[in-house]
Amino acid sequence: MKLDQQRDEMVNLLKERGITDQDVLQAMHDVPREDFVLPSFHDDAYVDSALPLTHKQTISQPLIVALMAQVLELQPTDRVLEVGTGSGYAAAVMGRLAKEVFTVERIGDLAITAAETIKRLGIGNVHVRFGDGLKGWPEEGPYDAIAVAAGGDRVPSALFEQLVVGGRLVMPLGPVQDSQKLIRIRKIDKDRYVEDDFGGVRFVPLLPETD
């Protein structure tokens, strides 16, 4: 099946599974996922599942990437922080919906490969940094939206601080992979937020810089 047809089918599946934001659906259609997966998984790029990267990490399932982008309510003027670049795919999707995306990855090889892919595709508004995303990227903040692409049992305080009032943060929350849920918090004041639950998910754990 041609890639274009596979992309259309993926978008139809995303619609069936609750993605209603037209801009998100368009971004999912436009970002070539085959360029972010390992070459041996090229033919599976548009299957709705997570796929392996190197270093025991994974590129997230398309539905989850789309859901995270949708619940972040990204605007064309937004500055976005992502923790956990992985392949760079989710950052590239968010880059089509927001003004600038700053993404931090703790595994050097993955950060380098993601930055190369993004450069090769001519994406100018996604910036990759190698480092500990638990600390955010304070020099470029504050952010209108923050996506945490790995699971933890609480929202890291540095990230909450780097969120503007009115900003949104999405993250898989839970102590172990089997009981994580995707939550969105909306910062309503310096130390107050409202939380919404978007259901069960499975993510790799958020790890500190050295483990």
Q: Which one among 110, 155, 163, 173 touches ligand SAH, defined by CB under 6 A? A: 110
Active site residues: 60
180 binds ligand SAH (CB under 6 A): no
Q: Which one among 19, 24, 59, 159 touches ligand SAH, defined by CB under 6 A? A: 59
What is the closest distance, in whole angstroms, from the C-beta atom of residue 113 to ligand SAH in the complex? 10
Contact predicate 149/173, CB 8 Å: no
105 binds ligand SAH (CB under 6 A): yes
What distance in Å separates the CA atoms of residue 19 and residue 6, rounded to the nearest whole number? 17
By C-beta, is 31 or 185 nearer to ligand SAH? 31
What distance in Å separates the CA atoms of residue 136 and residue 126, rounded to the nearest whole number? 15
Residues 130-169, mask of contacts with ligand SAH (x by CB under 6 A)? --xxx--------------xx-------------------
- Using CB under 6 A as the binding rule, the residues of this chain from 25 to 44 that contact ligand SAH are none
- Is the alpha carbon torsion for 100, 104, 105, 108 positive or negative? positive
Choose the binding region for ligand SAH from 4-12, 56-64, 119-127, 180-188 (rule: CB under 6 A): 56-64
14 binds ligand SAH (CB under 6 A): no
Q: Which one among 14, 101, 115, 204 touches ligand SAH, defined by CB under 6 A? A: 204
What is the closest distance, in whole angstroms, from the C-beta atom of residue 59 to ligand SAH in the complex? 4
Kind of pairing between the strands at 126-130 and 143-148: unpaired
By C-beta, is 94 or 185 nearer to ligand SAH? 94
List, edge to edge, every strand of the sheet that includes 163-173. Answer: 126-130, 100-105, 79-83, 143-148, 163-173, 180-189, 192-201
What distance in Å separates the CA atoms of residue 31 and residue 115, rounded to the nearest whole number? 15
Size of the site for ligand SAH (CB under 6 A): 24
Which token pair is 143?
Answer: 């952010």
* Residues in CB range of 157: below 8 A, 6 or more apart: none
Beta bridge partners of 186: 168, 194
Where along the sequence are the contacts to ligand SAH (CB under 6 A)? 57-60, 83-84, 86-87, 89-90, 104-107, 110, 132-134, 149-150, 204, 206-208
